[in-house]
Structure 1
Amino acid sequence: MPVSTLREAIQAETAIAPTSQHLYHNGRLIQDDTKTMEQLQIADGEMLALHVRDMQGSTGVPDQGRRGPPRRRPGGQDPELIRLQILGDPNLRAEATRQQPQLAAALDDPQRFAQLFNDSYDREQREREERQRQIAQLNDDPFDIEAQAKIEEMIRQERVMENLQNAMEHNPEVFGRVHMLYVDVEVNGHRVKALVDSGAQATIMSPSCAEACGIMRLVDKRFAGVARGVGTANIIGRVHSAQIKVGSMFLPCSFTVMEGKQVELLLGLDMLKRYQASIDLAKDKLIIQGEEVPFLGEAEIPKESEEALEEEPRLPGPAGTTIGQRSGVVSGPQSAATASPRQNPPQQAQQAQQASQQQAAAPNFPEEHINQLMALGFPRDAAINALQATGGNVEFAAGLLFGA
């Protein structure tokens, strides 16, 4: 049966003119009426979507009791057409669920979807017009230096948000969380999950790990000192040689015992270069002297290093999403964001609560750590917030402040 015959059958049943019928198969518009169902690869039992447009051209004024979805606004996109395209493409639906969960939840309700789509469009339009109005007001005096500086900052912020939106649309993978590389090793018979870090100069072990491995008695305290980088950390000493098992190989290795690290053991460049190790990301393995050692999966990674990322400060992103300041990870809208405004406490109460939490949390961090961050030029409140976000790690806190 050709498509033209199908359109005539639809007209006989619904009184919708063929010119107003837009038929979709798997999200694709059927435009050639001369082709048959077989030629279009439409099998029995498959679903076709009918989108009705320009109803006035065939049936006059639509029935007030049967209101269709809102028509496309001038210069805008048709909400119903977008909804049908998303329904017909699993990839688009998955992306909508990830980036626009409210719209994705309303895909089966044309009226609700169109309302949410138009509300979002109106909100963006109002924000755009407000920015243009502010720029126009500032342009009233072109010789005002402060006004020109504000215009420059507004334009810069607009370009930043545009760049962010383009990145989320075309390169969403850059906002995914990249997990660190860990391998299972044994030090003096004690199993440890070691972080592989080719950017670290030396192999580092925490004091608690050195105690558990039974090599704390071998620490040479003549090598004690202070490690300086983004932050500072105390070096207790150095274990000149201990046996480490990587894969099936037993290798001698030296360890720098250092405080203030959230990882128990970090395999640095000294060991990786000594044994000519290779980090093969394609195979997801550490190749050392010809032996391939698989990296640990996400579920096997120590949770201590992930907790700092979970508590990191977040920035607002498009469509109600939030973006981590340090990791760049995008999260969907929180459930609290969908609650009614009357359920939210007043802003002053929230600020007072946050201030009380900061005051209560301040004694948990050594004053020395707070002073170290303040010496870098940051206020005390910012230093305390950074320490809270990083679990008390001074190095991570300093990196967070510098990257903010």
Structure 2
Amino acid sequence: MKVTVLTADERIVSLDVEPDELVENLKAILEVETQVPLAQQQLLFNGREIPNSSRLNAAGVGDNDLLMLVSARAASSPASAAPTDLGLNPDGSAINPIALIRHLRGDPNIMRQLQESNRELSQAISNDNVDLLQNILRQQHQQKLLMQQQRQREIDLMNADPFDVEAQKRIEEAIQQKNVDENWEAALEYNPEAFARVIMLYVDMEVNGFPLKAFVDSGAQSTIISKTCAERCGLLRLMDKRYRGIAKGVGQSEIVGRIHVAPLKIGKNFYPCSFTVLDQADLEFIFGLDMLRKHQCSIDLKDNVLRVGGGEISVPFLQENELPLHLHDDKRLEEPSSSGPSSSAVALHPPAPIHAPGGPVSSQDSNKRARTPQETQNDPKVQRLMELGFDRNTVVQALTLFNGNEELAASYLFGGF
């Protein structure tokens, strides 16, 4: 059978022995493995010492059990007959710290080991700092006691009643934590990039002749420009305030209007683009799914480029050092605020706009009564527009907005307005 022996210096020794092996024979093997003389060995099982004349199975030791080996001076040893000034008090402090310092400083091998393994203790000895030495010894003694208590709890846990619910719960927690630690170590070795921050996809674009860093986001339903960015690009004068509403995502933000068409330069080509204008200061420009689909764009992560127009234009995604500092903010990129929409999942649900007298919508159907959402729910037009890939609520709102005109509603849904 196999037994595991835990030594006082925290070494683990695994041995194959016979079940009826004498404890004295096991100690002789341990003397070779640990360099601890047999006469100074105390072998403990479940906190009780096993006498040398006992056999392992008679003492209750079974396969895969854990034994503890502690070293104690034999009663007949001359060193135990007289006290020494180099000993330690029960609290871990030195009985005679000055004598201990002199003894340690006189052994260059010990000092060299202390400099490598315990620099703080080495400095206290070199500087003859008695108070610091005593404090360090007490702290190390307390840490050793805590580790011994933890090991004893682990031993008690392994030898607990298998039908004890609390013991099983602790075993389950220990196994789960071990699995988590192993998974973490495997990730560090085989997938270290998972712990790095991912830079979002930005490309250089020009809106109405003004350069900006566009955030490419296929999770955003519409292309978005902030009110301040639209003003900087000279487009605020074209904003249609009838298209006010609410942008909903992880949070929500106010839609202040819509710019129906403006020139967008990607690479060397110009493309017509429509924007939803948000009154939100922490975003500038999001190139959303509506324009990605309209201009047949594809996100090529292998070549790290955005392809536009079916591949006729390719623009590289920007590296981190090419982005302005405010776009490096981890909170804005990775922890969207509850007060504004998430840039990665913006869903626009604008209500029916305010119809100004003689406006384009009212002049097209001024003699017809406005259709309510309830009247539009079961309209065959809804089904036909939903087959194009839009959800029911968006289709109903578009039909309500244009008083049931299916062509205008479809043009609106595809970003034609």
Structure 1 or 2, whichever has the larger Rg, is 2
Q: Aligning the two structures, in what range does the TM-score lie when normalised by the shorter sequence?
A: 0.3 to 0.5
Greater share of helix: 1
* TM-score normalised to structure 2 length: 0.43
